[in-house]
Amino acid sequence: MEELAIFGGIPVREKPIHYGRQCIEQDDIDAVVETLKSDVITCGPKIEELEKKLCEVTGAKYAVAVCNGTAALHLAAIAAGLKEGDEVIVSSITFAASANCVRYCGARPVFADIKPDTYNIDPDSIRRLITPATKAVVAVDFTGQAVELDEICAICKEHNLLLIEDAAHAIGTKYKDKPVGSIADMTCFSFHPVKTVTSGEGGAITTNDEALYRRLVRLRAHGITRSQEEMVHPTDARWYNEQVELGYNYRMTDFQAALLCSQLKKLGKFSARRKEIAEKYNEAFAEMPELMIQREIPESETTRHLYILRLNPEKLTCDRRQFFDALYAENICPQVHYLPVYWHSYYEKLGYQKGICPNAEKFYNEVMSLPLYYMLSDSDVEDVIRAVKKVVAYYKKQS
C-alpha cells in the first residue's frame, strides 16, 4: 500500500466524486408534491400517463410500470412461460438480476460470453449454447449500447426463443433508428437513481404483444383480473374480481410515476450530456496505449449509462485493484460493472464453474466505471481525466 502514498498526498480533488447520481430539479419535486396532494396516490392517472409516455419514448405499443427493474425482469420471465427444466441464455457481464429472474421461475440461466471489444453478449456464443431445453434469451444493453438486435432476433426466431432485452442501462438508446423497447418481445427498464432517469425505485416492461401485455398487467397485481373474459367464473357483479394465477404486488405509486414523467421530459438533455462526457473521456484516452476504449457499433445510437475504463495489462505494471485504489486515493470513486454473474457464490454453489466465459472473466479483471452522470461539470470531468492520467503515468511500463 505504501506506493500509493503519492496519490493520497495531494489528491486531484478535495471532495470525492462517485460513478453515478440522480439529477432532481425543482419541477421534479413540484410534480411529486402535486401528486401527493391529489386524490389517488397509487394505481391512478399518473401511472396511465407514465405508461403512455413510455410508449412514446420507446415506440412500443404497450408499457407496464412496476416497482423496480428486477420486478420487471421477474414478470417478463413469468410471461415468457419459464419453468423448471427450461434453460435461458443470459449475458455473463450484467447485474445479477438479469439471471435471478430466470431462477425465480425455477429455470436455469446459461451464461453467454461477451464480445471482447463491445462488451455485449456475443451472438455466436448464444448459438453455441442453444439446446432443446432453451426457451429464451436475456440480452443486456450493457453501458447503454444496444446489443446486436438484428442478429439476436434472427437467432431467436429461428429457434423459437423469446427475447427479453434487459435495457436497464439503455432508455433513450436507438438501434437502427428504432428506440430500444420496441424491438425485443419484451424490454425491461429500471429507474433506479443511478440510471439515466429515475423514479427513486421503479421499472417497466414494454412489448408490442397484446397477450403478453395483458398477462403482465395481471401479474403486477396478484394475478387478479376484473375482465370477465379472463375469469373462470365470470359475473357482472360490481365487487367481483378473481385471482386466476399467482401474481405479485409489483405496482408503482403515482408519485413515483409523477417523478418519472417529469424526468422523462429531460431524457434528451440527460442523454446529450452523458454522450458528451463519454466523448470527452474517449478523446482524452484515445492516444493512451495503456487504456482500451469500448468499441461502438454504428447501429446503436447510444445513451450512455456507464463509461468503462479498461486497462491494458501489457502496458501497465499494476493490476486493476491497484489502479482502482489509486483513483480512489485521488477522490475519484469508480465502481466495477460487473463481476461475471456466475462468479457470485450463490451461482458457484449451483455448480457453475469458472472459465466458462473467458472474455467476460478477462474483462472483469481489467475494468472500472468512471463517473458519468448529467450533473458532472466540465471541471469534474477534467479532474477525472487528470487523475486517470496521473495514475497511468505512475504505473506505466517503461519500454
Per CB under 6 A, residues contacting ligand PLP are 68-70, 94-95, 97-98, 140, 166, 168-169, 190, 192, 203
Task: Check: CB of residue 344 under 8 Å from CB of residue 99.
Answer: no
Looking at beta carbons only, is 68 or 256 nearer to ligand PLP?
Answer: 68
**Which residue's C-beta sits nearest to ligand PLP?**
69
Query: How many Å apart are CA 164 and CA 183, to the nearest integer?
Result: 10
| Smallest distance, ligand PLP to C-beta of residue 90, A | 11
Return the beta strands (E) in the chain as ranges: 17-18, 62-66, 87-91, 108-112, 134-140, 162-166, 174-175, 178-179, 186-190, 203-207, 224-225, 242-243, 291-292, 300-301, 307-311, 332-333, 367-370
Q: How far is the CB of 70 from ligand PLP (least distance, A)?
A: 3
CB of 201 to ligand PLP, least distance (A): 6
Nearest distance, CB of residue 122 and ligand PLP, angstroms? 17
| The three-state (H, E, C) secondary structure of 177-210, written as one string | CEECCCCCCEEEEECCCCCCCCCCCCEEEEECCH
Nearer to ligand PLP, 141 or 290 (CB): 141
Closest CB to ligand PLP among residues 92, 98: 98
Least Å distance between CB 373 and ligand PLP?
A: 14
The radius of gyration of the chain from alpha carbons, rounded to an integer in Å, stands at: 22
CB under 8 Å to 345, separation ≥6 — which residues? none
Of 35 and 143, which CB lies nearer to ligand PLP in the complex structure? Answer: 143
Residue number with CB closer to ligand PLP (219 or 318): 219
**Cα separation of 294 and 308, whole Å?**
7
CB nearer to ligand PLP: give 70 or 256: 70
- Based on CB atoms, which residue is closest to ligand PLP, 196 or 225? 196
Q: Measured from the CB atom, is 190 or 206 closer to ligand PLP?
A: 190
Task: State in angstroms the smallest separation of the CB of 390 from ligand PLP.
Answer: 30
CA distance 241 to 258: 28
Q: How far is the CB of 9 from ligand PLP (least distance, A)?
A: 35
In the complex, least distance from residue 101 CB atom to ligand PLP, rounded to whole angstroms = 9
The Cα 38–Cα 43 span in angstroms is 12
Tally the C-alpha atoms within 13 A of residue 394's C-alpha that lie toward its C-beta: 17
Neighbours of 41 (CB within 10 A): 16
Min. distance of Cβ 334 from ligand PLP in angstroms? 16
- Which residues have CB under 8 Å from 128's CB, separation 6+? none
CA–CA gap between residue 240 and residue 248 (Å, rounded): 19
224-225 vs 242-243, strand pairing mode:
antiparallel
| DSSP codes of every residue in 120-156 | SBPHHHHHHH--TTEEEEEEE-GGGPPP-HHHHHHHH
**How far apart are alpha carbons 158 and 152 in whole angstroms?**
10
Of the two residues 203 and 247, which places its CB atom closer to ligand PLP in the complex? 203
* Spatial contact of 340 and 361, defined as CB atoms under 8 Å apart: yes
Measured distance CA(188)–CA(80) in Å, rounded: 13
- Looking up cell 471482447 gives 116
- We find the least distance from the C-beta atom of residue 80 to ligand PLP, in angstroms, to be 16
Output 142 or 285, the one with its CB closest to ligand PLP.
142
